[in-house]
Amino acid sequence: MFMKNAWLKGFFLAFFFLTLSFAYLKEKTNFTGILLTKEERVDKKVNDIIKENQDKMLEVQKKFDDKFVYLEFLKDDVVYSYYVNTTSGEITDFSFYIRPEKQEDFNKKITELLYLKYPVFIADALNNETVKKTYQIRENELVIYFNDVTIEPMPTEKLFLTVNYNEIKDCLDFTFLLDSEYQNEDGYVYDPNKKTVALTFDDGPSGEKTNQIVSLLEQNKAHATFFMVGNKMNYGASTIQNVLAKGNEIGSHSYSHTSMKRQKKANLLADEEKTHEIYRNITGQELLFTRPPYGAINSTVKESLDTIFITWNLDTEDWLHRDKEYIVNYVLENVHDGDIILMHDSYDSTVNAVAELLPKLYAEGYQVVSVSELAKITNHPLEKHTIYRSLKRSQ
């Protein structure tokens, strides 16, 4: 009997001290995972994250369903986000809240929207599994920031994609708000506050070279104005249709590239009407702009033709130099907001220069647009019988 009582006494003493030990550990150490409730584990992890980010501004702390707590911090215009799983109390990736069977659909949609927003040279770099991403959860949209990306040339702007939840509503495993109307980011929706220039090409249509330039413009979310010669239009009808189909515009560059200053008024009017008629038959549209060959214009020409005259203030002289490097460097060294740039779509060297120049202009914060788009962005109403050499913003 004595041995039995001693054994029981020892058991209870051991249990008592063990309980005290666990209580002490719970209070004094970090080894508490198995002792904390689910809610306590989550709260502790949230508090730990907040302490670790004391040098940043806490912007959002919100629980989504009973799945995760979202924490968002901001420092120096950089977003830092965390997701604390409400079951495990651990930090998880955003991908944990994408439905597994919809992961491929989610990735396809992000790829689609990337190429809608950015030029190909940027979208190609961002559409890479190795690129680090920060996911920012907003009430009605997801914002994806792309970090530590290598792009050549490297844009100066922050790289991110805003995704309305309507686009990915079947892919996400948490509750969110759906907008009744929304607009996806689109690289062709130009920003009125960004530096903008008009790119123009004379002497076309030039068949394959013109089409190559149109393709390069499309790859870089850019537009241009093509000033075409009337007696070449019928032979280039398919090229004309391609230029217009990709959002570019066309102006007259005379009927036969004859100096308008040297023509008699009757001949000038007849030639311009022939050009307009040919274009009208091909497109069903009217030509709004005229660029006199060689930029040669006088008061007679200006008053005789019922059109808007567009010349230029930045001449690449690509017809003279036929050198890609010269053209690219000349533009980059001299370009300013509101410029109208002159090129010709007749030379391989110009095509090659455009391929290099468009990404570099984009990286330096320029939008490359047509003359009409530049006039709208810089708030310049264009009037007939008036010559425009540039479209600078009013100071």
Check 202, 203, 318, 345 and give the catalytic one.
Answer: 202
Cα dihedral: 32, 36, 42, 43 (round 10):
-90
CA dihedral 125, 128, 131, 137 (to 10 degrees): 100
CB 359 within 8 A of CB 298: no
Instruction: With beta carbons less than 8 A apart as the criterion, state whether 367 and 190 touch.
Output: yes
Cα–Cα distance between 355 and 368 in angstroms, integer? 13
Q: How far is CA 356 from CA 63, 315, 327, 359, 381, in A?
A: 48, 17, 10, 6, 32
> d(Cα 83, Cα 70) in Å, to the nearest integer?
5
List 203, 271, 318, 344, catalytic entry: 344
Kind of pairing between the strands at 314-315 and 57-64? unpaired
Rounded to the nearest 5°, which phi and psi values hold at 340? -110, 115
State how far the Cα of 99 lies from the Cα of 104, in Å rounded to an integer: 10
385 catalytic? Reply is no
Q: Is 124 a catalytic residue?
A: no
- Residues 311 and 257: their CA atoms lie apart, in Å, by 15
- Token readout for 123 is 């979208």
Q: Which residues are part of the catalytic machinery?
A: 202, 344
